[in-house]
Amino acid sequence: MPDFKYQTELNRLFENGQVLPSLDIPQSKLAYRYVFDYEHPNNHKPIYIQNPRRRQSDADSDRLTTSGYSLSCFEKKELAVQQFKNLKNTHKNIDISIGNALCGGSLDEKDGLITNSNEKTTHFDLYEYSECDLGSKFEIKQRLV
């Protein structure tokens, strides 16, 4: 199995007793993610890499988990759009922090491993392999704001 993109960070969590959730191999799995519709350094970056203060805050409150080093994805475009609208209603500037567009593409066994998707929201996490580059294989599907 290849190394994960954030293997060093994950190893630190493993040393402290954290474990990965149950993971599966994606096989031509459609996935949608929030990104910025322009070149942005946080596109396709996990929350703990985007915002190291969040990592520290979660560590201080015992909420630090391996999912902070994974990428949030959705199986269904329409549910991803609805979730963004829900977030926008409660966090007016959400488009400034997580993106203003929805991108999508197909995940395969070379990209990494995925968690089971939530039945209601179709959300799942992608633990990227070190060579994964979603920026080169996903494309913008629609603007969200």
Per-domain residue ranges for the chain? 7-143
User: Could you read off the pLDDT of 52-102 as tens digits, one per residue?
Assistant: 888 888 777 777 899 999 999 999 999 999 999 999 999 999 999 999 999
Sign of the four-CA dihedral 143, 31, 87, 68: negative
pLDDT attached to residue 131: 96
pLDDT attached to residue 87: 96
Model-level pTM greater than 0.85? yes
pLDDT attached to residue 55: 82
Task: Please name the residues in contact with 22: beta carbons below 8 A apart, sequence gap of 6 or more.
Answer: 115, 116
User: Could you read off the pLDDT of 105-121 as tens digits, one per residue?
Assistant: 999 999 999 999 999 99
